[in-house]
Amino acid sequence: MGFSSDIMHDFVSKEIRSLYSSYDGWKATDRSTGSGYDRIAVLERRVDGHRECVKILVTFAHDVSAAQISELCMPESTNDGTLTRSSYAVMVPANAGLGSVPQGIPVLSMRSFAFEGKELAWVKKPVRKEEAAKAPA
């Protein structure tokens, strides 16, 4: 997957790859949006003679704007003339505001980041009890 700008996008890339595996034929690219740090992940594969395209808006903002949704829903052009089945999703940190996301667009919640109040926080994996017991020794 093309997210290589920083560690936050690397964590999100792993989450997207767990949902859309290359084993199932998904090829992923990404591109910047007009709002700077946000990205749009474009996942494509061929199935039964047609092309499937899933576009995921990845944002670390507390609220998703209408401009981001309109940029997400712009159709992709094809060079080979095949029919494309397009779908869209939004990936946001846990506890983000979802009021502006239209009802038909699925919302994926990040497992690695969440909002605690108005602050974005990194959600760490809990320490295993065995490892915690070995540490003080």
Q: For 119-131, what is each residue's pLDDT tens digit?
A: 999 888 766 666 6
Q: How many domains does the chain have?
A: 1
The whole-chain average pLDDT of the chain stands at 84
Asked whether residue 64 is domain-assigned, the answer is yes
Does pTM top 0.75 for this prediction?
Answer: yes
Q: Do residues 36 and 60 lie in contact, with contact meaning Cβ atoms separated by under 8 Å? A: no
Q: How many whole angstroms separate alpha carbon 133 and alpha carbon 22? A: 38
Instruction: Average the pLDDT over each of 11-25, 37-51, 70-84 and give the range with the smallest value.
Output: 70-84
- For residue 79, pLDDT over 80 is answered with no
Which pLDDT belongs to residue 125? 73
Asked whether residue 118 is domain-assigned, the answer is yes
Could you report the per-residue pLDDT of 50-69, keeping only the tens digit for each?
A: 889 999 999 999 988 888 89
Asked whether residue 1 is domain-assigned, the answer is no
Q: Which two tokens stand for residue 24?
A: 């199932």
Asked whether residue 105 is domain-assigned, the answer is yes
Look up the domain containing 65 and give its range.
7-134
